[in-house]
A = this chain, B = another copy of it.
Amino acid sequence: MNDIGNETYRVRMTGISKRYNTIQTLDNVSLSLRPGEVLGLVGDNGAGKSTLSKVLSGAVIPDAGTIEIDGKVVSFSSPADARSEHVEMVYQDLSLCDTVDVAGNIFLGREPRRRILGVPFLDKKRMHDEARAMLDRLGIVIADTGLKVENLSGGQRQSIAIGRAASFEPSVLIMDEPTAALAVAEVEAVLDLIRAVSARGVSVILITHRLQDLFLVCDRIQVMYEGRNVAERRIEDTSIEDVVNLIVGRKFQARSARRSEDNGVRP
């Protein structure tokens, strides 16, 4: 991880605003991210976390604001633009094609091809082999990469979305509640993955409501409230209780986010 004092940013978003009809979803929000840094983005439901990250992934076009990637001002008019700047995102609603199979979803938009008589056909064997390897790496049990994703369990679907975003050498990886539907071992695998990619210099934005996870992988935490930035903390300078209070906007006793032994759980 780089020196926090360093002024080279991978991502700098400034003055981002977005309005939907009557709701000001984002109101002059900023966000910055250094190479290899893991930023935890937290906030109440409806605070605008997903919308802000979709702005960075090109899926939402903001009403105002600028985005710089590696010091260069960019303007994303579609996710394809963001992808070509190596920004990848795991969407909260997963964005899978239900009637396409597991391998097809993982490689969507980047299918490997091989030329037969000069015509670029899909290389299905390679797709299935690589998909299998990728799932195994993430510790995901899916019987067959040829299954359509519509019938998979919630956690299996989420794993596919994660596998897709993480596998194509992103330089910025945005994960919007990637572990919400995952069981305990799979959560560990995702946290390991985040540590591994950030060690390789990938910048990561992690949106999650599992606050304890933040303290396992993040370098910094940014808190949003009703569409605005309200606080930013280096991980060393904060605690779960502090973050809870920032999210809720007042002093709040959250038993589910407290240290386990207080809840009567035997060590």
User: Given A22-B143, A153-B50, A154-B50, does the pair A216, B256 have CB atoms closer than 8 Å?
Assistant: yes
From B22, B152, B184, A211 is in contact (CB under 8 Å) with B184
Check B252–A265 contact: CB distance below 8 A: no
Chain B positions within 8 Å of A181 at CB level: 45, 92, 177, 180, 209
Chain B positions within 8 Å of A154 at CB level: 45, 50, 92-93, 177
Chain B positions within 8 Å of A264 at CB level: 215
Complex CA gap A177/B177 in Å reads: 14
Chain B positions within 8 Å of A209 at CB level: 155, 181-184, 187
A181-205, CB < 8 A from B:
181-188, 191
For residue A46, CB closer than 8 A to chain B, the reply is yes
Check A185–B215 contact: CB distance below 8 A: no
Complex CA gap A209/B42 in Å reads: 19
Check A188–B256 contact: CB distance below 8 A: yes
For residue A231, CB closer than 8 A to chain B, the reply is no
Complex CA gap A118/B239 in Å reads: 61
Check B184–A248 contact: CB distance below 8 A: yes
Complex CA gap A144/B20 in Å reads: 13
Chain B minimum-CB-distance residue to A20: B151
Check B184–A244 contact: CB distance below 8 A: yes
13 residue pairs A–B, Cβ–Cβ below 8 Å:
A44-B185, A45-B141, A46-B155, A50-B153, A93-B154, A155-B209, A184-B209, A184-B244, A184-B254, A184-B256, A187-B256, A191-B255, A260-B260
